[in-house]
Amino acid sequence: MSSRVLRVGTRGSALALAQSGMIADRVARLAGATVELVRIRTEGDVNTGPLATIGGTGVFVTGVREALLDGRADIVVHSYKDLPTAPTEGITVAAVPERESPFDALCARDGLRLDDLPRGSTVGTGSPRRAAQLLARRPDLAVVPIRGNVDTRLRQVSEGHLDAVVLAAAGLNRLGRADAITDVLDADRMLPAPAQGALAVECRSGADTWFTEATRTLDDAPTRAAVVAERVLLRDLEAGCSAPVGAFAQVQGDALTLRAVVVAVDGSSEFRVHRAGSPAAAADLGARAAADLIGQGAAGLLGAR
Ligand SMILES: NCc1[nH]cc(CCC(=O)O)c1CC(=O)O
């Protein structure tokens, strides 16, 4: 029996446990280790008020990273789209594993698809990006702000309080709730949040240990290139994770393509870009796309910056 123990820091939400558990099992198997889950309760879990009033989604990330930095955990796993774009001193993204579905999913009553929702239907989402793109296509819908974990949101539909909710397909898939999806919103209808569906596996910088070595082997180069392009775009727009910015990059053959949109929160106007580059120059592609959007006047839709 091996004496190696991989300590994986994780929040206690169902999604966090599913994601951390899946990565932990893969790293542990590669390293011949056993897994110890280190539960972390963050400010965002304790305080359920509107995220904007308690410091944004960063409140979830900070608590988890503290466990890494003070040595309680060896690795931590984040939904990449929840990470701020600025790098953190002392922490390295050791792996960006192969991406799950990057797309958003409509979960509606009675199996309805977006175009079949009756006029005036209520759709729950707390995301300005999702709200704006829904309203751009269906101005008649009533977007209702909601928060809470995936199960709480799905219950709003199953209990008849809302006609539909929009959630990341990746989260639903990882939680085994793909059955709730009635319409996967492809890139032509809704561009996802930068890095949606991707995970970031973090280790302390400079620690060349058995667990960083094993973690690095989970890195997927095409996913990393796509995520770099999407997040450099977000960074250069100086927009946060709740900004009305959609972006989707993918490696196709030798090329990396990037599509992005900045939308008015009421869906009344938008700026778009579609560019291609080399996967080796992913950051440059994101930067050029952001400059293009700013040149079109997109900064005016990004609000106070
Ligand atoms: N904002 C919360 C969050 N962060 C990551 C996911 C889903 C998983 C992913 O995008 O990787 C979700 C839920 C959602 O947006 O529906």
ipTM entry: 0.94
Using the predicted structure, report yes or no on whether residue 66 has a pLDDT greater than 60: yes
197 CA closest ligand 1 atom index:
11
Query: What was the pLDDT predicted at 305?
Result: 45
CA of 171 to the centre of ligand 1 (A): 6
CB of 197 shorter than 6 A to ligand 1: yes
Quickly tell me which residue has 């839709």 as its tokens. 301
40 and 155 in a common domain: no
Same domain, yes or no: 79 and 144: no
pLDDT at residue number 49: 64
According to DSSP, the β-strands at 104-108 and 183-185 are antiparallel
pLDDT of 267 strictly over 90: no
Note whether residue 49 is domain-resident. Answer: yes
* Ligand 1 atom nearest 196 alpha carbon: 10
The verdict on 179 and 203 lying in the same domain is no
Mean pLDDT of 257-281: 94
For residue 105, CA distances in Å to 101, 246, 253, 300 come to: 10, 14, 27, 28
Residues 239 and 213 in one domain: no
Domains: count for the chain:
3
Confidence category of residue 300, pLDDT binned at 50, 70, 90 = confident
Q: Is residue 193 part of a domain?
A: no
Atom of ligand 1 nearest to the CA of 82: 4
Q: Is residue 192 part of a domain?
A: no
82 close to ligand 1 (CB < 6 Angstrom): yes
109/179 same-domain check: yes
Asked whether residue 9 falls in the same domain as residue 91, the answer is yes
Whichever domain contains 240, its CATH number is: 3.30.160.40
Contact 194/207 with Cβ under 8 angstroms? no
Asked whether 167 lines ligand 1 (CB < 6 A), one says yes
* Dihedral angle, C-alpha 239, 240, 244, 249, nearest 10 °: 80
Instruction: Give percent above pLDDT 90 in the chain.
Output: 83
Burial category of 206 from C-beta neighbours within 10 Å (exposed 0-12, middle 13-18, buried 19 and up) = exposed
pLDDT score of 54? 54
Q: What angle do CA 140, 145, 149 make, to 5 degrees?
A: 130
Using pLDDT thresholds of 50, 70 and 90, give the confidence band for residue 240.
Answer: low
- Is the beta carbon of 124 within 6 A of some atom in ligand 1? no
Q: What does R_g of the chain's alpha carbons equal in angstroms?
A: 19
Q: 214 CB under 6 A from ligand 1?
A: no
pLDDT, tens only, 164-187: 999 999 999 999 999 999 999 999
Residue 191 lies in a domain: no
Which whole number is the average pLDDT over 191-204?
Answer: 98
| 82 and 117 both lie in a single domain | no
Provide the residue range defining the domain that includes 111. 104-185
Mean pLDDT, range 5-21, rounded to an integer: 96
Q: What is the pLDDT of residue 51?
A: 58
Judge whether 190 lies within some domain.
no
Q: What is the pLDDT of residues 153-162, one digit of tens each?
A: 999 999 999 9
> For 19-52, how does the pLDDT look when each residue is reduced to its tens digit (9 = 90+)?
999 999 999 999 999 999 999 987 767 766 665 5
Dist. CA 196 → ligand 1 center (Å) = 7
Q: Which of 13, 77, 79, 130 to mutate to test the pocket of ligand 1 (most atoms within 8 A of CB)?
A: 79
What lies within 8 Å, CB to CB, of 97 at 6+ separation is 23, 26, 198, 199, 201, 218, 219, 220, 223
Domain shared by 110 and 158, yes or no: yes
Q: Which residue has the higher pLDDT, 60 or 93?
A: 93
Q: Catalytic residues, which ones?
A: 82
Look at residue 271 and tell me whether its pLDDT is greater than 90: yes
Q: Are residues 210 and 86 in the same domain?
A: yes
Same domain, 205 and 86: yes
Whether 275 is in a domain gets the answer: yes
**Pair (46, 114) in one structural domain:** no
Strand stretches in the chain, DSSP E? 5-11, 34-40, 75-79, 91-95, 104-108, 122-124, 142-144, 164-168, 183-185, 199-204, 245-252, 255-263, 270-277
> 74, 6 in Cβ contact below 8 A?
yes
Q: What is the pLDDT of residue 55?
A: 56
Give mean pLDDT, residues 231-257: 90
pLDDT of 53 reads 58
> Nearest residue CA, atom 1 of ligand 1?
82
- Residues 204 and 146 grouped into a single domain: no
Is residue 86 domain-resident? Answer: yes
Neighbours of 184 (CB within 10 A): 16
What average pLDDT does range 201-226 have in this prediction?
Answer: 96
Atom nearest to 80 CA in ligand 1: 11
State in Å: Cα 184 to ligand 1 middle.
15
Q: Is the C-beta atom of 168 inside 6 A of ligand 1?
A: yes
pLDDT digit string, tens, across residues 97-147: 999 999 999 999 999 999 999 999 999 999 999 999 999 999 999 999 998
Ligand 1 atom 7 nearest Cα = 171
Q: Give the mean pLDDT of the chain.
A: 93
CATH number at residue 58: 3.40.190.10
Report pLDDT for 207: 75
The per-residue pLDDT for 283 is 98
Establish if 42 belongs to a structural domain: yes
